[in-house]
A and B are shown apart, each in its own frame.
Chain A
Amino acid sequence: EPEVTQTPSHQVTQMGQEVILRCVPISNHLYFYWYRQILGQKVEFLVSFYNNEISEKSEIFDDQFSVERPDGSNFTLKIRSTKLEDSAMYFCASSVQRQETQYFGPGTRLLVL
């Protein structure tokens, strides 16, 4: 069964460093999403992406964040200058259409020191 994959599974970085989290959505899906879950808190929406542009973003998704689909398979989330409070589990998800089921990847656990 097709699934969303994410790399790396864990990443440790120093405050102020740039990180890129990578996702490979399910191949025939057109909508892509990033969510994050700070330890002990709820899953929060960051951004949705369709047709090579952001379709919606939350207030969390400020200028430090960017997303890109650099090729036909990868979908990335970049954090330009990480802060301690960016430490969280980041989930990628994809769906066939806008209102269809979102399938989640296993997540990348980011720790900013």
Chain B
Amino acid sequence: AQSVTQLGSHVSVSEGALVLLRCNYSSSVPPYLFWYVQYPNQGLQLLLKYTSAATLVKGINGFEAEFKKSETSFHLTKPSAHMSDAAEYFCAVSESGTASKLTFGTGTRLQVTL
């Protein structure tokens, strides 16, 4: 079985500050890992994904995430937050080679302040 834990349901950063959203996963087989963003009243948009290639993955809008197998983590970072980054961020896992369903974390709401 697969699962995702996102630490911190709410994160607040100042504009220009580092964004760090935490995600830890559990999977019985090598995982595929994803970060999705949900803006208010919108659907889920893929930010980036890890599918067993490079461990440092770059995504859209300046976000990146690093897969660390030893820590079972896939934390999302952005060097400098922008007001437009305010949204809900979901980490998700699927099991490579078998089912394709995504198992999501509970989400982290990012607030960006002036």
Contacts and interface: CB of A to CB of B under 8 A. Distances in A.
Interface of A: 4, 31, 33, 35, 41-45, 48, 55-56, 58, 91, 93, 95, 98-99, 101-107
Interface string B89-109: 010101011011111111100
B26 interface: no
Is the interface on chain B under 10, 10 to 19, 20 to 34, or 35 or more residues? Answer: 20 to 34
A113 B104 CA distance: 28
B84 interface: no
Contacts of A103: 46
Interface in B14-61: 32, 34, 36, 42-46, 49, 51
Of residues A42, A56, A105, which shows the largest number of chain B Cβ atoms within 10 Å of its Cβ? A42
Q: Is chain A's interface secondary structure helix, strand, loop, or mixed overall?
A: strand
Contact of A99 (B43, B44, B96): B96
B58 to A, nearest CB: 15
B6 to A, nearest CB: 9
Of residues B36, B42, B43, B105, which shows the largest number of chain A Cβ atoms within 10 Å of its Cβ? B43
B20 to A, nearest CB: 20
